[in-house]
Each structure stands twice: as structure tokens, then as C-alpha cells.
Amino acid sequence: MTIATATPMLLHRMIDEAALRHPEHPAIRCDGETTTYEELARRANGLARVLLATGLERRARVAVLLGKNPRVPVAFYGVLAAGGVLVPIDPRSPVEQVTRILAATGATHLVSEPERRQVVQQALVACPEVSQVVGLEADDGLPFRCQPWSTVFEEAGDRPPDVPVIGLDPAYVLHTSGSTGAPKLIQHTHSSAMSFVDWAVTEYSLTREDRLSNHSSHHTCFATFDFYAAARAAATTVILTPAALMMPASLSSLLERERVTVWYSVPTALVQLSLRGQLETRALDSIRWVLFAGETFPEKHLRRIMRQLPGARFSHVYGSTETNVCTYHHLPESGELGSPLPIGRACSNARTLVVDGDLRPVPDGEVGELLVRGSTVMSGYWGEPERNRQVLVRRTSAGDLEETFFRTGDRVTVLDDGNLTFVARADLQVKVRGYRVELEEVESALLSLDPVEEAAAFAVPDGEGSSAIWAVVVAGDGAASSREEIASAVGKILPVHAVPAEIAVLESLPRTPTGKVDRNALRARLAAGKGQNGG
């Protein structure tokens, strides 16, 4: 039975409620080990007490630098129970990035682990504001005070600290650079996160019998679903470690053993699972729903995995880190996908508006920028009032009431049936010799070729005030297509000005932590290669 969503809650209260109702039920599964809801709640409460004892003030920022392991949910809920603002950091971040995030958010505490000791020591040299570290052993040679994880477990208890927190208080700050832009610090409140969580639990009928896969890193917006929606339904989160994700065949075997019921990731992860996961040999009838978001899902790959998982429903969910999920589209069970695949309709707690450059609504069928308004939208970018003024725009509605919308930067159109369809990112439209080119269209054309499994296109300055298009493709196993053959084939699909000037064939594409193509890394890699080759 699905948990009712009428009662407002705070994020950290969900595990206390689950522990009260289902104390022995698995909250976390990781590497074959189980953490029950009672154990998770007690440990989170222990961390909250340690943080408060070391001087944490309400709404102070607490950075979390952990690998993908069962300490992550303890840190999440413990920081929130102490009244702190959670700042999860990508565990793969270089020291310089860790330092920038700590400094930008003004974090006073850090939760980490012995495996990150060297990075912590180096980062905190430049961040004296961080005076307390939980998760490292005390060492007189360190310029900060430490509390080991053993202290957290000693403080574990049934009763959470009595800290006054309300739904409008900030809950967490996520950092993201997306695939092209500069790093951003995105702040969400308990209310904005809970609004998405309640919608997801209802829309996907999550119950305590579900087992959700945690594929993405915990510093991304995917974790809001993986951890918080699971806790709301008293379901189980199966943490997929880097070792588990290394080989698609090993991953599919783990999904089979763990009886995962709901999967959520970027399409790329599903493409790899479909191509190399040996799905035909697995008993994956437990998977009842597959959610994907974040990038275009090539139709040939989507159709393949739908055939491989015939018992699963598929949902295309749309939304940036700033909005959580704001639209969704359940793919028809008939298999009729639509081209392009719609991003669907607004969630029950959101409103969408398609506008022109002057923020005036455009007629249905015309392309415009998507604006989103709703309870799942962020409260703003941390410490960036000017950027907030640019993207959180006010519009006057009937009765002279002001409404605040988030500018997504995505160009969309409304179909005849009322569904929205994604056209392009505004920042992925470039000019080549006076012609406008959508980089997604270039990628789509490349992906339509039989030998091509993955493709990425990006623009580089051509030195003459315009841009040239470069592309990278990954060919399928056994495919021996050359760059020239691919360029010739795609030239029969695209207009001359949109055909990539450079095409590289690689074994794999670099990825951001969510699994999207890292265009900045690709651009740098290809530029370096041309320089070395005298290009």
C-alpha cells in the first residue's frame, strides 16, 4: 500500500517514520550488505548529535565527501536532522573543485571517510572555515578537529535531536556544471524536495516492496528519487558501487540478484546495459518501471531495451537540477514512441509556459523557451543574486498577481495532443557560415547510422568569426567504419553546412557524474590531438 502524501514532512523525518513502522525492513542494500530502517535512523540521529555537539548551527552548510557506500544516507539524514544544509560533493572531484565548493558555500563542517583523507587534508588548507570533520581519526598534526565514525555509532539513538526546522528552510545545495556550462550551486528547500518526492511516490506507485537502483552519484538530482522517494515509501535503495557499474554484464547480474523493481538513470546507462549487459540471459521480470532523463534517448536503442524488458513500463521524465522533475511522459505500452519522443505534460505540482524572446506566450506548435513554475523549483543559486534575477523571472497574471517562473534555457513546442516536445538546448544551437545548426540534430543523424552506437557533436571557433562542428562517435562491436565512411554517410542526411568538419572514432565517450557526455572534456581532448598532429 502506498504511503499517503497528505501530511507535510521534512526529509529527515521520513526515515524516523519508516523505522517506527518497519524497523527491520531493508533501507539500504550495498555489496550484499543490508542496513535496516531502524539502523539507518539510529545512525543518522547519532551523526546529528555529533554535529550539534561540535557547534553546528541551524542552516549552516555541511559538506559530504563520501564514496558510494552505506555511509551516504547516514550523512544525508544526519545533516538534515541536525538542522544543517547538506552539500554533497562528487567523490571524484579534484582537490581544487572540493576547495571551490567548500569556499563558495561557506561550509563549517565536513563529513568524510578515511579513504578521502588526503583530499580532505589538501582542501582544508585553503578552507579554514571548516573547523570540524566527521569521519576521520583524530590527528594532532591536522589543522581541524576530527570525530571518527565510531563516535557516530556510539551516539546512535532512537530519538532525533529537537531542532526547529520548517519546510521552507534550505535542505541541500547541489553543484553541477552540466555538459557545457560553468559550475552552479543550486539550493533546494525541504518543501521543494518533498513536493517532488510525494509526486514520484504517487505517480510510480512506490511501496515498501520496491527496490530502487541508485545508479548516479549521490551529489546529483537523481539521488532525490533514489534515496528520498524510497524512504517516503519505506522502500529499499540498492546502491550501485563503481565496481558494480564497471561491467554492464556484472551490473545486470546484480540487478537480477537484488530483484530491483525501479530503475532511474540517463539514457546512456541504459544503452550500455542493453548493448553489453546480456539482458537476454537474465531473469529481470522484477523490473516494473524504467525511468530515464537528462538527454535524448536514441530511438533504436530505446526500442531494443523495451524489447529486452517486456514486463517494464517506461517513463521519459524531464527536468533540470533546478526544477527536480517538472514534466513526464509514460511511453505507450503499444510501443508507439512518437518522433521526437515527447517530454510530456507538467507534473501535478507544476505549470509550464512556452514563450518567445520577450517572454510572451507563443501559439501551440511554435518553438519557444520553456518556463516552469511550481513547488519543486529551487529557491535559487547559492550566492548568485544576479544569476537568480536572470533565470527566476516574474510575470504578471490575471488579477495583477506576480508569478515566478524558472527559465530552463530549453527550446520546446506543444504538440497537437498537448504534450511538450524538446527541440534543443538554447546553448547547443550554433551558427556555421551563417546557418543555424542544432547540435542535437547532428547527433541524431550520426546515431541513425547502423555502425554508430554513440555520438556527440560540439562547436569550435573556426577563426573567422563563425564555428565549425566537430563530432565523436563510438562504433559498435566489430564495426570497421572509418571517419571518411561515416562522414560520407551522414552527408547524405544532413545539409552541407551541418556535416561535421572533423569526426573522431573513439572506444568510449567521457562522462559527467550523471552519465551525460562531457562535451568540455571531449573538446579539450580533440583539440589536444589536433595540436599534436599539427592540425
DSSP assignment of 407-434, as one string? EEEEEEEE-TTS-EEEEEEGGGEEEETT
E strand spans, 433-521:
435-438, 452-461, 467-475, 502-506
pLDDT in the model for residue 1: 40
**Spatial separation of the C-alpha atoms in residues 284 and 274, rounded to whole Å:** 12
Question: Partners of 424 in the beta sheet?
Answer: 411
**Spatial separation of the C-alpha atoms in residues 513 and 508, rounded to whole Å:** 15
Q: What fold does the segment set 347-424 form as a domain? A: Luciferase; domain 3 (2.30.38)
Is residue 17 within 8 A of residue 194, CB to CB? The reply is: no
Look up residue 242 and give its three cell numbers. Answer: 563503481
| Contacting residues for 304 by C-beta, under 8 A, at least 6 apart | 274, 275
pLDDT in the model for residue 177: 61
pLDDT in the model for residue 211: 98
Is residue 45 within 8 A of residue 161, CB to CB? The reply is: yes
**Spatial separation of the C-alpha atoms in residues 240 and 366, rounded to whole Å:** 42
pLDDT in the model for residue 36: 98
pLDDT in the model for residue 391: 95
Annotated domain spans of the chain: 13-196, 347-424, 433-532
pTM: 0.84
How distant, in Å, are the alpha carbons of 486, 501, 510 from that of 491? 8, 11, 26
% of residues, the chain, pLDDT over 70: 91
Residue from 409, 455, 461 nearest 430 by CA: 461
pLDDT in the model for residue 4: 42
Three-state DSSP class for residue 368: strand
pLDDT in the model for residue 69: 97
What are the residue ranges in the chain where pLDDT is below 70?
1-8, 140-141, 177-183, 398-399, 426-429, 431, 433-436, 462-466, 477-481, 513-514, 529-535
Tell me if domain 347-424 and domain 433-532 are identical in fold: no
| Contacting residues for 235 by C-beta, under 8 A, at least 6 apart | 206, 207, 208, 209, 210, 211, 212, 229
- Domain 13-196 = CATH 2.60.40.60: no
Question: Partners of 456 in the beta sheet?
Answer: 472
Helix, strand counts (H, E) of the chain: 17, 27
* CATH architecture group of domain 433-532: 2-Layer Sandwich (3.30)
The alpha carbon of 36 is separated from its chain's Cα centroid by a whole number of angstroms, namely: 25
**Spatial separation of the C-alpha atoms in residues 535 and 529, rounded to whole Å:** 8
Helix H, strand E, coil C: the string for 114-168 is: HHHHHHHHHHHHCCCCCCEEECCCCCCCCCCEEECHHHHHHCCCCCCCCCCCCCC
| Contacting residues for 134 by C-beta, under 8 A, at least 6 apart | 47, 50, 51, 54, 109, 110, 111, 112, 146, 147, 149, 151, 152
